[in-house]
Amino acid sequence: MSKTIGILTGGGDVPGLNPAMKAAVLNALEAGYKVRGIRRGWQGLLHYDFDEPSTHDYYIRELEYVDVRTIDRTGGTFLHTSRTNPQKVRVKDAPDFLINSKYGKKLDENTIDYTDYVLKVLSELEIDALIAIGGDDTLSFAARLHKEGFPVVGIPKTMDNDVYGTDYCIGFSTAVTRSVNLITDLRTSVGSHERIGIIELFGRNSGETSLITALLAQVDRAVISEVPVDINKLADFLMDDKRRNPSNYSIMTVSEGATYKGGGIIETGEEDAYGHKKLGGIGQMISDDIKKITKTNTMFQQLTYVIRSGPPDSLDRMVGMAFGTTAMNLIKKNDTGKLAALQGGKYTTVPLDIVISGKKHADIASYYDKENYQPKVREFLGHPMFLT
């Protein structure tokens, strides 16, 4: 009797998800497995209603060669995604049919743990093992399923490159490449108007996107999540940079999770299922304050969804394919509870629960001058290709 695997993506979309899924699906089909794609990540399992057949057609997709033949040519995720966290569901977000069911465990008056229901759905769908692709939030629930005894393998993705346990996550290279190209183009306007350009990039806990982009785009300064910034000091630096530039402008990057010295992170809106509010605003704040301090016009640009849109670059295609193949190979060997990873430039695996054991940060000592807010690589020999 052939086995069945499930595959899903959760959290923000990144280029490289589709190549990873294509590699996993083709590998599975070649080995005689059946494959079921789960739409909208963990939501597809939480909202699956045994008494409503339409939910099966909506959330479950049988995958054959023809379904994945061309998906690697595009970005995003063809299975769609969500930020659902089944082990901590707000009452107002729970499916109606589950509110008074026996499967929920109340954590408090406002939240319920529906892990048991997800396990029931996986059993009813006859899924023998699961491949979960996501960041540390999505993978934290995958680790929970592993703890409960369900066979699961994880693949790390995020433009922040901040999944703990791997040097590289799918999506990072494309995000950096797009950011560098857009900043290079933006120099046209910043230079024409002789302004100070402030570019805000992704990065909640890790400043790697800002740091590596700044290094490759050769901007003047980079503010990152790990190092709170002195705004007056930064303003002086940028004015000096502007005066030294024959075109009379300066330009900098900033992580969305960066903070002022003595200040907190800039967040807005309601917390999501993983306890995160929407980040963004530090770039605009820096732009406004720089303008006030220096009496010089600034030009602010927030590069967010545009750098995660479109097809993956060559590196994210390669890593996606490698991670997808690795995940399926682990399942074939019954070696689950693992995360596909890159360490020291080589593909490897690590225990899946490592993703909930810490937070990954940029290597400041090796790659950043925190006194001058600049990327500073003092030595390349012996370091990974992508300096992560």
Catalytic residues: 160
Two structure tokens written together for 4: 């069945």
One-letter identity of residue 205: N
319, 342 Cβ separation under 8 angstroms? yes
33, 90 Cβ separation under 8 angstroms? no
CA distances from 343 to 48, 99, 177, 355 (A): 37, 43, 21, 14
340, 155 Cβ separation under 8 angstroms? yes
Determine the Cα–Cα distance for residues 133 and 292; give it in Å rounded to an integer: 44
Q: Residue 115 class from Cβ within 10 Å (0-12 exposed, 13-18 middle, 19+ buried)?
A: buried
Determine the Cα–Cα distance for residues 127 and 56; give it in Å rounded to an integer: 14
Q: How far apart are the first and last CA of the chain?
A: 43
Evaluated on CA atoms 172, 301, 9, 148, the torsion sign reads positive
Two structure tokens written together for 336: 């689950």
Q: Residue 80 class from Cβ within 10 Å (0-12 exposed, 13-18 middle, 19+ buried)?
A: middle
Task: Give the DSSP H or E segment for 153.
Answer: strand 152-156
250, 242 Cβ separation under 8 angstroms? yes
Q: What is the CB-side half-sphere exposure of residue 291 using CA atoms within 13 A?
A: 14
Report the alpha-carbon angle 257-191-252, nearest 5.
Answer: 20
Any idea of the CA torsion for 102, 106, 109, 111, to the nearest 10 degrees?
Answer: -100
196 - beta bridge partners? Answer: 250, 298
Place of tokens 């923000």: 12
